Amino acid sequence: MTIDSLAIRRRDGVLEVLDQTLLPGEERWVAVRDSATMIMLIQRLSVRGAPLIGVAAALALAVEAENNVGKGALRHKAHELRNARPTAVNLMHAMDRMIRVLGQGKAAIVAEAEAIYDEDVNLCRDMAERAAAFLNEGDGVLTHCNTGGLATAGVGTALGAIRAAWESGKKIHVYVDETRPLLQGARLTAWELAKLGIPHTLICDNMAANLMRSGKVNQVIVGADRIALNGDVANKVGTYGLSVLAHHHKVPFTVVAPSTTLDPDCPSGSEIPIEERNGEEVRAGKAPASVNVWNPAFDVAPRELITRIVLEDRVL
Contact residues for a second copy (CB under 8 A)?
24, 175, 177-181, 183, 186-187, 190-191, 194, 199-211, 213, 237-238, 240-241, 244-245, 247-248, 279, 282-283, 286-288, 290-296, 299
- Using the minimum distance from each CB to a second copy, give the nearer residue, 305 or 309: 305
Q: Strand, helix or coil at 137?
A: coil
Contact 233, 263 (CB under 8 A): no
- Pairwise CA distance, residues 218 & 253, whole Å: 9
Strands 140-143 and 173-177: parallel
| Residue type (1 letter), 255 | V
Contact 292, 279 (CB under 8 A): yes
| Residue type (1 letter), 73 | A
Whether the ω angle into residue 24 lies within 30 degrees of 0, i.e. cis, is: yes
Quote the crossing angle between the two packed helices 90-100 and 106-132, to the nearest 10°. Answer: 150
For 4, residues 6+ apart whose C-beta sits below 8 A from its C-beta are 10
Catalytic residues: 225
Neighbour-count burial for 59-79, b at 16+ CB within 10 Å, e otherwise:
bbbbbbbeeebeeeebbebbe
- Using the minimum distance from each CB to a second copy, give the nearer residue, 59 or 183: 183
DSSP secondary structure letter of residue 185: I
DSSP secondary structure letter of residue 120: H
- Using the minimum distance from each CB to a second copy, give the nearer residue, 94 or 183: 183
Question: Could you tell me the smallest distance in angstroms from the CB atom of residue 307 to a second copy?
Answer: 17
Strand partners, 253: 220
- Pairwise CA distance, residues 194 & 185, whole Å: 12
- Using the minimum distance from each CB to a second copy, give the nearer residue, 191 or 253: 191
Question: Could you tell me the smallest distance in angstroms from the CB atom of residue 164 to a second copy?
Answer: 22
> Helices in 133-279 by DSSP H: which ranges?
158-167, 184, 190-196, 208-214, 239-248
Question: Could you tell me the smallest distance in angstroms from the CB atom of residue 77 to a second copy?
Answer: 34
- Using the minimum distance from each CB to a second copy, give the nearer residue, 96 or 280: 280
Question: Could you tell me the smallest distance in angstroms from the CB atom of residue 161 to a second copy?
Answer: 21
Question: Could you tell me the smallest distance in angstroms from the CB atom of residue 237 to a second copy?
Answer: 6
In 3D, which of 106, 51, 39 has the Cα closest to residue 74?
A: 106
Question: Could you tell me the smallest distance in angstroms from the CB atom of residue 290 to a second copy?
Answer: 7
